[in-house]
Homo-oligomer: A and B are copies of this chain.
Amino acid sequence: MLYLVGLGLADETDITVKGLEIVKKAERVYLEAYTSILLVDKEKLEAFYGRPVIVADRELVESGSDDILAGADKTDVAFLVVGDPFGATTHTDLVLRARELGIESRVIPNASIMSGIGCTGLQLYNFGQTVSMVFFTENWKPSSYYDRVKENVQLGLHTLVLVDIKVKEPSWENLARGRMIYEPPRYMTVAQCASQMLETEEERKEGAFGPDSLAVGAARVGAADQKLVAGTLKELTDVDMGPPLHSLVLLGRKTHDLERDYIRQFAVDTATFDAQWAKGYGASS
């Protein structure tokens, strides 16, 4: 059996009791470690599980899935995914491959940022499409996300913006030279995300959002030091939310008063928040 086990969002104790039992019994345990990270390292997980954990990077999952699945028709293999196994990134391809090989699979769900973002007090019903923000470079500032944000904005819906992480990515320079040498990991911050959004708006000028649009920054959702901040995009470009992982929610205009009351607690500046709110948010807008 192939078990895809969600690890949740913060640390080693966010695994479910069911998931932990599976990990303790499985023949081999893989940790998918390139689409998201826990806030603790592999050694802490191994100590908690009492088991060695094999780190599965992108190369192994995308090119070596048959190695991961080897023998899973007879014994149990656990494939651990931060968040929910089918959350922000889907691992449906691994399950489909297992099926081709006649291997059964089972998913152990867990918290995903897609639902965990409810900790902002914003109602999940009021979210539209989720988008991803990649690190802009000097020559590459993809803005296709903007179209989807605009669709959400036009419907008055919130947008969850998932921010880029770079874990074990070869640098362009090293790739060009055929060397597999990796860059140090990088995690986008709420401030960078807000800043890149404003950069896109300046280029597009379609008014989907602007410096005065209200947004919520979330850091380390589910951890004891979880941090939430509400403010305008301009304010968020200056905010320091501490260590990764970060996410951002662009507020939709169709917002309930209870949502306002909740996020107002985290306002960078309550006066700015109230002034912007009065200009275009709320159920009557």
Give the B-binding residues of A (Cβ under 8 A). 6, 8-9, 11-18, 20-21, 84-88, 90, 92-93, 95-96, 99, 106-112, 114-116, 118-119, 121, 123-132, 151, 155, 157, 221-222, 224, 258-259, 261-262, 265
Contact = CB atoms under 8 A, between A and B. Distances in A.
Given A90-B123, A155-B151, A14 B13 contact: no
Nearest to A7: B16
A96 B262 contact: yes
A119 B109 contact: yes
B15 A124 contact: no
A107 B119 contact: yes
Contact of A13 (B8, B16, B119, B129): B16
B87 A118 contact: yes
A15 B14 contact: no
Nearest to A87: B115
A151 B128 CA distance: 10
A252 B224 CA distance: 38
23 contacts: A9-B109, A11-B18, A12-B17, A14-B17, A14-B18, A15-B16, A16-B16, A86-B116, A87-B124, A88-B124, A95-B262, A96-B261, A106-B224, A107-B119, A108-B222, A109-B222, A111-B112, A112-B115, A114-B114, A124-B130, A125-B132, A127-B129, A151-B155
A131 B268 CA distance: 32
Oligomeric state, in copies: 2
A61 to B, nearest CB: 14
Given A107-B222, A115-B111, A121 B90 contact: yes
A151 B14 CA distance: 36
A84 B113 CA distance: 11
A253 to B, nearest CB: 14
Contacts of A85: 118
Contacts of A108: 222
Nearest to A125: B130
Given A130-B125, A155-B151, A118 B17 contact: no
A258 to B, nearest CB: 6
Contacts of A107: 119, 222
A109 B157 contact: no
Contact of A109 (B92, B115, B125, B155): B115
Contacts of A126: 129
A165 to B, nearest CB: 16
